[in-house]
Structure formats: C-alpha cells, structure tokens
Amino acid sequence: MSNLGAFSMWELFRGEVESQMRMFTDGLLALESGGSAKEQLAATMRAAHSIKGAARIVHLDMAVSLAHAMEDCLVAAQEGLLTLDAGAIDVLLSAGDLLMRLSALQESAVSAWVDEQKPAVDRLLNQLADVRAGKGIAIAPLPAVSLRVEASKEPVSKAASEGKVPDAPVPLTAPAAPAEPSRSARANTGGDRAVKMATQALNRLMGLAGESLVQSRWFEPFSESLLGLKRRHSEISDLLDSLRPLVDDSPEAAERLAAARQKVEETRRWAAERQAELDGFGLRSAGLSDRLYREVVASRMRPFGDGVEGFPRLARDIARQLGKQVQLDILGANTEVDREILDRLEAPLNHALRNSVDHGIERPEERAAAGKPATGTIRFEARHRAGLFVLTISDDGRGVDVESVRTAVVAKGLATTEMAANFSETELLEFLFLPGFSTAATLTDISGRGVGLDAVQEMAKSVGGKVSIASRPGQGLSLQLELPLTLSVLRTFVAEIGGEPFAFPLTRIARVVKVNRADLSSLEGQQYFSLDGERIGVVSGLEVLDMQGKPNWGQEISVVLLGDRATRYGLGVDRFIGEYELVVRPLDARLGKVPSVSAAALMDDGSPVLIVDVEDMTRSVETLLHGGRLRGLGSSEATQVSRKRILVVDDSVTVREVQRTLLQNRGYIVEVAVDGMDGWNALRAASYHLTITDVDMPRMTGIELVSKIKADPKLHSLPVIIVSYKDREEDRMKGLDAGADRYLTKSSFHDETLLTAVAELIGPPDQ
C-alpha cells in the first residue's frame, strides 16, 4: 500500500465510507422490510460502487475487492438473478461493518490491520461469492447486543485495534459512523459545506452573540435621554423669549439675546439630527445583533434524524436475536433540536428501544394470535410544540401489565401489600422509572437489569424537561419527552424576590396568579389558598432562598406555581416583571451547586439575573412545608417544633415518599433531598437528628455523603442509616467503613426494621 501521507486523502476516504455506508445500510434495511426493491437495490449498489472508487484512490486493494463483491451481488439482484434473503443481507451488512472498522483506523495502523484481517476478508469474499451464485446462506444467530450505547460502539474501535472479526456474518449493533459526518453528508448534498467546531468555541460564540444583543439594546435608553436634552433646549428657548421685554431698551443686549437664541436653535437642530442618526444606527445594530444571535443559535441546532440514523439497524439486530420482527419508524427527522440535547438523547433512546423490542413487541406467533401483524412497529416521533421539543416513543406491543408491576413493588419491598393495593395505574407506572426496577422474569444481555426508563427520566431532568408514560394493555406503551429546544437560550418568566430579579424557565412553572391575602387560610401551621378546587400550599420566596428582609406585599400577593399536578406549590414573590428570552450563562464551577439556582443571564438592560433551578426550589418548598420551619406569608417568627427531625436522601421519589410516610406516621418530622449533593446542602443549612441515605445517586453517592458527614467537625456525631438495594456483604462493609451507623436493605420497608433502627439511634420522636 502506498504512503497516503496527505491528511485530505485519508479523510476523504473515511468520509466517503461513512456517508455511503449509511445509505448502504438504510437501503438494505428498507429492502428487508418490504421497500421498493428496484429503488433500494439501485441506492445500495451506487453506495457500494462509490466506496469501491474511494478505495481505489487510496490504493486499498482489500477494500476494493470487498466493495466490488458487494456491488456484484447487488447488480445480480437488480437483474433478477438472485433474491436477497435475510442471510444474504447479513453477509452484506457484515462486509459493510468491516469497511466501517477499516475507515475508523488511524492511517498508520491500516497496513497491519489489513494483514491481520486477511482470513476474515477471505471468508466474507467466499460468502459474497455464494450469495452471487444464488446459494442459500444460513442465518447465523446474532451475538448478545451490548447494553450501553458507549459499549455498542466498542466493536468498531476494539475490533479495529485488535483485528478481530467474527467467523459468521454478524452486523454491528450500533451505527459505526459518528453523527457529525452525517451532518456533513447532508450539508454537502444541499451545496453547503459543514465544518467541525469545538463545543467550547461554539459556546463562547453563543455568549458573545448574546452580549452583543444586550449591548445593542442600550441604544434605546440613550436615545431616550437625548429627548430630555431636546426638552431642555425648549426650556432654554422659552427662558430667552421671556428676557426679550427686559432688553428691548438696549440694542446691544437685544443683539446678544438674538445670537443666543440662534445658537440654541442651531444646537437643537444639531441634536435632533444626531438623534435621528443614533436611532437609525441603533435599529441597524439591533437588527444585525439579532440576526447574528439567531444564526449562532441555529448553528447549535441539528435535525433529530442525525442522532438516530443507526437505530433502525439496532432495532433489526435486537429483533433478530430475540426471534422477533420489528420495524422502527422515525417521524419528524428534520425537526431541529440543540446538538447537546441530541447527544444526550442517544443513550436514553438506546435503552428505550431495547426495552420496547424485548418487553413490548411480542413474537410473531403471539401477535398473530392477538390479531396483529407479525411485524411490530416502534415509532420515534419528533415535533415542536409550544416552544418545546417533544419526542414520543411508542410501540404497538403488549403494553405494561399493571398487576405485575404491583407485584414487583411488593416483592422488592418498596411498599406493603396494603399500600400497593391502593396505588392507581398512574402511580404504579411511575415505579418503572426507578433505578434497578424491572418486571422481567429473566435476566438477559438486552434487558431485565432495570436499566432503561430511569435513564430516560434522568436525561429529561438533567436538561429541565420531563417525561410521562402511558400504557394500553394489549396495544402498546408510549413515552413522551418534553425537552427545551435549546440549552443556550431559555424562555423565562422573571419575578422579583427581595428586590432582586429571578428567572423561572417557562416550561418548569405551572402558572402565575394573584392571590388576595384574605383568601389565605392556615392548617397545621401551613398556609394555603384554593385554585380550581385544589388546595395549594404557599411559601415566601424569601424563605426558600434564605434571603434577609420582609416581603413587601399589599392586599394582593403575586404567586408562581411550581411543580406538577401531583405536587404543586405556590411561591410568593414581590412582583411579576414579565417574559424574557435569556442567553444562559453557566455559573463558575468553583461555586459548586448553588441551592435553587441553575445558571445566570443578562437582562435587556444589561443587569444580571439568576435562573432558578425549579426542581431544586420545589424540594426546598416541600421541605419548608413538611419540616415545621415555615414562617408564613405574614409572620416574622419561625414556628418552633420540638419533635425530632430526619433527613431522607434518595433520588427515587417513590422511595422518598415511602420512607417519609413510614416515619411521619410514627411522629417524626421528615425532610427530603433528591441526591447526595442536595442532602449535603440541606445538612449544612439546618440541623437534624438523623440522616437516612441511599447509595447510588447522581452528583454525590451515599458513601461520599456519609464520608463528608463524618469528616465534618459539626456533623460527625450525626447518626446515619444507609438504606440500599445492594445486599452483598462487601457493600454493607463499604457503607459501615465510611461511617454509617446502620446498613439496611430496602426490603426493610415492609417491616419494623427501619423504624426500630431509627428508634435505637435517636429515640422516640418527641423526646
């Protein structure tokens, strides 16, 4: 092989293989699912031919031979000399996978890799020759499909570095080409060229464009100040007119007065001209800054289809492994979404797809018995709605057996039989989002480990979105994700608290209302008001943010409603300012997690505003309402509570509520935190008699939290109980070594073990 040397030659070959193999794979999958044979065969043949030409340019004889053999098979199929069945398609896909692994190599490693792969290439060439001759190809069982997206990409790099190719024709389980080259391919077909750009550079450009937009809006108040100058000119002119009777007897004074009036008039005209020029410049500057800002925002957007191009192939491979027939439909592929959100969607969609194929879609014989077509359908549908990116993942499978979920909840010790019997269908479906929760009877490499819907929910929460689930027994399951269109620009509602502006993401608040102070009522020391028949607890924003001073309210109180219909709270603010689109600026990492705050931005006048972390603030409101520390909207002194207080730290809302209910029914005051970092902030802000924590949590694990508590001079004596799904002895010893006073499993919920441990450590609730 010749020395390719030049960067452009190898990159051109790599780009050609990536783009053409995408069309090659899509064509074969469409052909297998019953697409137009003539059209799909022509597309796949052209792709193989293009790869052959690119391989000739870089003198890769092995790739030329392989692509030529693939092309021969497709040409024969076009001429009607053979029919491509599932076995033949497997061989063609395997040959394409090997070419993809080749293109992913560094140029210096190509020669050695080609030598190592010669036996595998020879086997593939023999199999392609059999396909060309019309010989039947046995359908080899597919290997286990890797569980993680990152792992599913591993065969590309690992096989490339180790030179391992399976004997049987085995297609890869995930798209081998990265998403960015596909963007380039799309752009090139439209006459545009795509270039790669570092994410940090794009973020900096976004910040500068936002600042430019803010700066351009400063012309308006400056122009308004010139209007004041014009008014002063008029006042001076009036004063000069009033002096005329006083100087009529003095020609010299009258002459000077006339000169002064002329100067004032000239200055007025000059100021008017300059103001007109400034207004024009301000309009042009604002328009230019706005266009720049929107173009930079657009540069962060990518079509949804760019992120899911390899998923039809993944669905096929998993279905083949399970003996099922599945078709993945992608609707709204051109729907634009922030590239960062699209990147974060990859792993959750991977898990959701695996769960749908494994748990949702039935085997062909089961579907036939139920009157369904043998091929199950999974659908990804993307669209824009009310300023949000809405993604629906649905299938026409068996749906969720609610009673099996109820049984699993009891079996896993998440609730007693009596409690589980009272759960509604909606409440039971929420358990599917718990980490480690699964109703699968057996454990496989594809699913059954409880990994799936929790990854979807975690991703949605991480970008300020939400996810909902709906099931129709016998007809299928549907997941709906509502996510922001972009993470760089945020539509917000700004309110003033303690004289400072705070921005609430519009997608994270329910509504804003004005409440008459006379309509507030109290119950057990907590203040409420009624809205549409619902009783809503309300708390001052000053308390939640731990700000000094007293709220400045009249007879009407401005209230922002936070949370969902299940847990909705009212936050009292000083006044409403209005809706704004803000360019998000991240806080300095050295600040750590600021309670109830997620980021910052600049208002139109250049003044800073903090963006509220609504989920964190909701937890703080919940803590105040349930923790006995609420002062009330008109009160200045905190309610004094003598009962013992416990902090429950767990990232599962269901587990938190089960623990809270158990302990509150026993008489303890219980506050909650959603992860280790939130718990650590709560422990430093208030005092507790006991902490109960999970182990596996985002941002800070339970082991890390226990270590921090025991290392802190003020908190080292605080008793800690770890409650975890992990029941191995090594896990228990790890928790106790970190300093935990007790280590319990979550099966302890259904008996007195947890309550007994609490009583042993801190005694009864009122002593």
> If you write DSSP's letter for every residue of 66-91 in order, what string do you get?
HHHHHHHHHHHHHTTS----HHHHHH
Q: Binning pLDDT at 50, 70 and 90, where does residue 173 land?
A: very low
What pLDDT score does 174 carry?
36
Q: Are 500 and 482 in contact (CB under 8 A)?
A: no
Q: Any idea which of 443-452, 547-556, 703-712 has the lowest mean pLDDT?
A: 443-452
- Residue 44 tokens read as 């796949």
Asked if pLDDT for residue 381 goes beyond 90, the answer is yes
Return the number of other C-beta atoms located less than 10 Å from residue 141's C-beta.
Answer: 10
Give residue-wise pLDDT tens across range 26-41.
Answer: 888 877 776 567 777 8
Sign of CA dihedral 197, 203, 209, 215: negative
Distance CA 394, CA 361 (A): 11
Distance CA 234, CA 90 (A): 87
Strands 720-724 and 742-745: parallel
What pLDDT score does 635 carry?
43
Sign of CA dihedral 272, 278, 282, 288: positive
Give residue-wise pLDDT tens across range 493-503.
Answer: 999 998 889 99
Distance CA 365, CA 322 (A): 13
Measured in whole angstroms, the distance separating CA 416 from the mean position of its chain's CA atoms is 34
Asked if pLDDT for residue 333 goes beyond 50, the answer is yes
Q: Are 144 and 446 in contact (CB under 8 A)?
A: yes
Most confident of 93-107, 282-296, 557-571, 740-754: 93-107
Asked if pLDDT for residue 640 goes beyond 50, the answer is no
Q: Residues of the chain with pLDDT > 70: what percent?
A: 81
pTM of the model: 0.57
What pLDDT score does 390 carry?
92
| Buried residues in 331-363 as b, exposed as e (16+ CB within 10 A) | ebeebbbbbbbbebbbbbbbbbbbbbbbbbbbe
Give residue-wise pLDDT tens across range 259-315.
Answer: 888 888 888 888 888 778 877 887 887 778 778 877 777 777 889 988 888 888 888
- Residue 146 tokens read as 């890797």
Asked if pLDDT for residue 160 goes beyond 60, the answer is no
Asked if pLDDT for residue 427 goes beyond 60, the answer is yes
Distances (CA, A) of 635 to 200, 343, 524, 558: 48, 48, 14, 17
Q: What is the mean pLDDT of residues 374-388?
A: 88
Distance CA 525, CA 213 (A): 47
What pLDDT score does 411 carry?
83
Bigger pLDDT: 10 or 644? 644
Distance CA 705, CA 707 (A): 5
Distance CA 2, CA 52 (A): 17
Distance CA 290, CA 477 (A): 43
Return the number of other C-beta atoms located less than 10 Å from residue 127's C-beta.
Answer: 23
Distance CA 410, CA 404 (A): 10
SS3 of 550, please? coil
Distance CA 228, CA 411 (A): 76
- Residue 25 tokens read as 């794979």
What pLDDT score does 8 carry?
54
Distance CA 602, CA 583 (A): 7
Give residue-wise pLDDT tens across range 456-504.
Answer: 888 887 777 888 888 888 889 999 998 888 777 788 899 999 888 999 9
Asked if pLDDT for residue 129 goes beyond 60, the answer is yes
What pLDDT score does 523 carry?
64
Distance CA 708, CA 353 (A): 39
Find the helix or strand (DSSP H, E) in which 417 lies. helix 417-421
Give residue-wise pLDDT tens across range 515-557.
Answer: 888 787 766 556 778 887 778 888 888 888 878 777 667 778 8
Task: Report which residue type is found at 531.
Answer: L
What pLDDT score does 34 carry?
66
What pLDDT score does 627 carry?
55
Q: Are 80 and 106 in contact (CB under 8 A)?
A: no
Distance CA 484, CA 508 (A): 10
Q: Any idea which of 274-278, 363-367, 586-590, 682-686 has the lowest mean pLDDT?
A: 586-590
Task: Report which residue type is found at 180.
Answer: E
Distance CA 577, CA 603 (A): 11
Closest CA to 129 of 137, 117, 138, 120: 137
Asked if pLDDT for residue 354 goes beyond 90, the answer is no
Asked if pLDDT for residue 230 goes beyond 80, the answer is no
Find the helix or strand (DSSP H, E) in which 223 lies. helix 219-247
Bigger pLDDT: 417 or 605? 417
Q: Are 124 and 98 in contact (CB under 8 A)?
A: yes
Range 752-757 contact pairs with CB under 8 angstroms and sequence separation of 24 or more: 754/659, 754/662, 754/692, 754/721, 754/723, 755/662, 755/663, 755/666, 757/721
Distance CA 148, CA 133 (A): 38
Residue 229 per-residue DSSP state: H
Q: Are 163 and 107 in contact (CB under 8 A)?
A: no
SS3 of 635, please? coil
Write out the DSSP string of 710-727: HHSTTTTTS-EEEEES--
Bigger pLDDT: 590 or 421? 421
Asked if pLDDT for residue 178 goes beyond 70, the answer is no
Closest CA to 310 of 143, 457, 397, 182: 182
Q: Are 675 and 693 in contact (CB under 8 A)?
A: no
Find the helix or strand (DSSP H, E) in which 526 lies. strand 526-531
Phi first, then psi: give them for residue 708, nearest 5 degrees. Answer: -65, -40
Return the number of other C-beta atoms located less than 10 Å from residue 196's C-beta.
Answer: 8
What pLDDT score does 444 carry?
52
Q: Binning pLDDT at 50, 70 and 90, where does residue 70 land?
A: confident
Q: What is the mean pLDDT of residues 143-172?
A: 36
Write out the DSSP string of 121-167: HHHHHHHHHHHHTT-----PPPPPPPSSHHHHTHHHHHHHHHT---S
Residue 332 per-residue DSSP state: -
Q: Binning pLDDT at 50, 70 and 90, where does residue 625 land?
A: low
Q: Are 675 and 700 in contact (CB under 8 A)?
A: yes
> Which residues on neighbouring strands pair with residue 600, listed in sequence order?
585, 610
Q: Are 656 and 693 in contact (CB under 8 A)?
A: no
Return the number of other C-beta atoms located less than 10 Å from residue 202's C-beta.
Answer: 16
**Arithmetic mean of pLDDT over the chain:** 77
Q: What is the mean pLDDT of residues 699-724?
A: 87
Q: What is the mean pLDDT of residues 188-194?
A: 46
Distance CA 272, CA 656 (A): 66
Most confident of 172-176, 367-371, 630-634, 700-704: 367-371
Distance CA 384, CA 380 (A): 14
SS3 of 40, please? helix
Distance CA 194, CA 188 (A): 7
Q: Per residue, what are the HEC states of 556-605?
A: EEEEEEEECCCCEEEEEECEEEEEEEEECECCCHHHCCCCCEEEEEECCC
Q: Are 670 and 659 in contact (CB under 8 A)?
A: yes
Q: Are 719 and 762 in contact (CB under 8 A)?
A: yes
- Residue 740 tokens read as 């935990």
What pLDDT score does 401 carry?
84
| Buried residues in 576-595 as b, exposed as e (16+ CB within 10 A) | ebeebbbbbbeeeeeeebeb
What pLDDT score does 188 carry?
41
Q: What is the mean pLDDT of residues 117-143?
A: 75
Q: Binning pLDDT at 50, 70 and 90, where does residue 346 land?
A: confident
Asked if pLDDT for residue 140 goes beyond 60, the answer is no
Tell me how many helices (H) and strands (E) the chain has.
Answer: 26, 23
Q: Are 540 and 633 in contact (CB under 8 A)?
A: yes
| Buried residues in 289-317 as b, exposed as e (16+ CB within 10 A) | beebbeebbeebbbbbbbbbbbbbbbbbb
Asked if pLDDT for residue 184 goes beyond 50, the answer is no
Asked if pLDDT for residue 619 goes beyond 60, the answer is yes
